Amino acid sequence: MDARHWPAATDRDAYAEPFLARADAVADAARSARWDDVFAALDSGDDPDHPNIWRIGGASGFTPLHQAAWHGAPVEVVRELLRRGAWRTLRTADGRTAADIARERGHEQLTEEVRPEPGALPFAVLDGHLQGLVEARVRPALTVRLRYAQTAVVHEVGALSYPVPGMYGGFALRAIPDGVEAESWIRVVGGSGQRHVITREGCRLVEEGFV
């Protein structure tokens, strides 16, 4: 899993046990502010530079960066998470970025470290259109519960992979000036590929029939 991969499913049975064990180890260590253990757990897998991990099935959606903001971690810890590609724009289940959490907790130095670049796009509107597209593509065939990708993160990283368990494919999301381009496919269904453009006006199909 690379640094631009979003684990879509919130159902634990959608993942292999080694991944779950590693994600839990990262989450447990971050929740307890054991930063050396966080990095040791991250380094134990094939993707040590992927700090954007949350507890699968958990309620908060906190990554190590959110926990660092909560605890007021040493700035060196925060900078190492950012060096590894931690997403500043990622919002928790209740809608907070790491900067929001640091500010609420009074950690002003960290607030500046983790503050995302201001965005000019209506990301909440774009998120709603993307969620509608994902639901239209996967339901009713799949019942897996999902944590939807966030369009602000897509714009932060440029492109994001969003594979959906059971879909035998998923979504490739790419930032464009006025929104997001979403390419989706089901590998076991010939000609299933679709490309949509998502803007503030809505979600528009622009190509289909590939893959």
Domains delineated in the chain: 12-114 (1.25.40.20), 123-210 (no CATH)
Q: Which long-range contacts (CB under 8 A, 24 or more apart) does 71-75 make?
A: 71/33, 72/102, 72/105, 72/106, 72/107, 72/110, 73/33, 73/35, 73/110, 74/35, 75/109, 75/110, 75/113
Q: State the Cα–Cα distance between residues 175 and 181, nearest whole angstrom.
A: 6
What pLDDT sits at residue 46?
73
**1, pLDDT greater than 60:** no
Q: Which two tokens stand for residue 72?
A: 């007021």
Residue 88 pLDDT level (bands cut at 50, 70, 90): very high
pLDDT tens track for 122-133: 999 999 999 999
pLDDT of residue 191: 78
Residue 106's pLDDT is what?
Answer: 98
Q: pTM (2 decimals)?
A: 0.94
Q: Are strands 169-176 and 159-164 parallel, antiparallel or unpaired?
A: antiparallel
Q: Provide the pLDDT confidence category of residue 99 given band limits of 50, 70 and 90.
A: very high
Given a cut of 90, whether residue 34 has pLDDT beyond it is: yes
**Mean of the per-residue pLDDT values for the chain?**
94
pLDDT number for residue 49: 58
With tokens 């309620």, the residue in question is: 59
